[in-house]
């Protein structure tokens, strides 16, 4: 996006926040609110910075494995923190993502997987879709045998609409392809070995 397009987006966001304040009966010219539209617009533009960015781009160029290299049956990066915005109520949801893949002929830098989670999260989102987008991007770029993405998050909309469930955590798992059961059980922190 060009700098003039970014400024146009910011100007529109500032005007929209000001209009929202007026719509709820607030005095947008009140001293304490004078800079609020700019602050909110800048925050929202950052929170939605992943819009228009293909999550695949976060993975960069995969590392090709030689015939003699074998990275193991499963590669995982766990506890990746993220924050996203629920598209239903525009309230935040925060959590962690555990991302696993069973390599075939390519691997990705571990920091690239964390970057993938961040890019996919920085847009109006649903937790279920977030996990699937991460899994699909890994399948597209690395072409592994399989991918599993486990996301656990708390949702601002749940906390607001159902205060008794404010501490609840939503768990979603997205899988694509095949990950051997025994390997998956070893990787899962909350599954006892048997």
> Mind telling me the catalytic residues?
86-89, 127, 155, 157
Burial of 64 (0-12, 13-18, 19+ CB in 10 A): exposed
3-23 vs 36-47: helix crossing angle, rounded to 10 = 120
What the block records as the tokens of 56 is 């695949």
The encoded tokens of residue 87 equal: 């598209």
CA dist list (Å): 70 to 66, 100, 145 = 8, 16, 13
């Amino acid at each position: 996006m060009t700098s003039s397009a970014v400024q146009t987006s910011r100007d529109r966001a500032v005007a929209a926040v000001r209009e929202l304040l007026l719509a709820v009966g607030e005095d947008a010219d009140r001293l304490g609110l004078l800079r609020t539209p700019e602050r909110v617009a800048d925050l929202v533009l950052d929170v939605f910075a992943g819009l228009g960015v293909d999550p695949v781009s976060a993975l960069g160029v995969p590392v090709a494995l030689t015939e003699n290299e074998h990275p193991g049956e499963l590669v995982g990066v766990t506890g990746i923190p993220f924050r996203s915005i629920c598209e239903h109520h525009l309230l935040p949801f925060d959590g962690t993502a555990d991302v696993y893949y069973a390599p075939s002929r390519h691997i990705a830098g571990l920091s690239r997987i964390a970057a993938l989670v961040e890019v996919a999260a920085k847009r109006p989102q649903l937790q279920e879709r977030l996990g699937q987008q991460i899994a699909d991007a890994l399948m597209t770029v690395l072409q592994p045998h399989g991918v599993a993405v486990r996301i656990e998050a708390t949702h601002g909309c749940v906390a607001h609409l159902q205060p008794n469930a404010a501490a609840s955590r939503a768990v979603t798992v997205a899988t694509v392809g095949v990950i051997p059961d025994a390997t998956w059980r070893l990787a899962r922190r909350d599954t006892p070995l048997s």
